[in-house]
Amino acid sequence: MNKQQLVQSIRTKKNFLCVGLDTDLTKIPAHLLQEEDPIFAFNKAIIDATRDYCVSYKPNLAFYEAQGIAGWNALIKTVNYIGKEHFIILDAKRGDIGNTAEQYAKTFFETMPGDSVTIAPYMGEDAITPFLKYEDKVAIVLALTSNPGAADFQLTESNGQALYEQVLQKSASLGTTDNIMFVVGATRPAYFTKVRAIVPDHFLLVPGVGAQGGSLEEVYKYGANQEVGLIVNVSRQILFASNGTDFAVKAGEVAKDYAIQMSKLMDHA
């Protein structure tokens, strides 16, 4: 799914929900641990229960890589099972240069393949451009994250500009609104106006709603544009709504509730 198809999906489904697949083996229901592939068994049930209420899925690669080959295989099966009707974000947060960045791009856009991948821009243009060579694929650049430590670097100023603002400007100049998006955390709603002043037309991937306390209403109020321009990720609140045999049903209920909230926001825009 490319960016234009994502826009159409948001308009058709009337939501902009991304379900984060941070599948932690220590948190999934105990009965699934008897399965041949517990990670995929959990993901499959979650996807079946939520696919009507979201436009995107975001596997967090750390939870798969930690399990070695078994986790990697579960990730591939998960991506294949999601299919072509949802925007797939591979949350890898890679950041390297030259041939290494090219191999990362090949990993996530060919071997996997995902529709997009999160990348860290600290090493500059060289760390971003290899991902922009793939048609209909998207690089999602970390700009202003939701964690407390974001203040250590991202909010520091030089010549009257915060580092995250410089990241937005430079990164946006390297590509287009079709192949670059940005991560902006929901826990920093006051900054959305500044972000939109720099990148009014780019999509924003927004973590931090739900368990981290970000406000969906504030994100939409200050972050939405004419295409909505938002993918709001919710992980733990959906995935671990229950740790019993009803885990998938409960996950679907939470996802549906978010979809309804989003539809109402879009209706009143």
Q: Report the catalytic residues.
A: 93
Assess contact for 15 and 263: CB atoms under 8 A.
yes
Structure tokens at 136: 């209909």
d(CA 146, CA 166): 18
DSSP assignment string, 106-166: HIIIIIS--SEEEE--TT-GGGTGGGGGSTT-EEEEEEE-SSTTHHHHTT-EETTEEHHHH
Strands 204-206 and 230-234 turn out to be parallel
Report how far apart the first and last C-alpha atoms of the chain are (Å, whole number).
26
- How far from 100 is each of 18, 95, 97, 105, 143, CA to CA, in Å? 29, 9, 6, 9, 22
d(CA 126, CA 43): 34
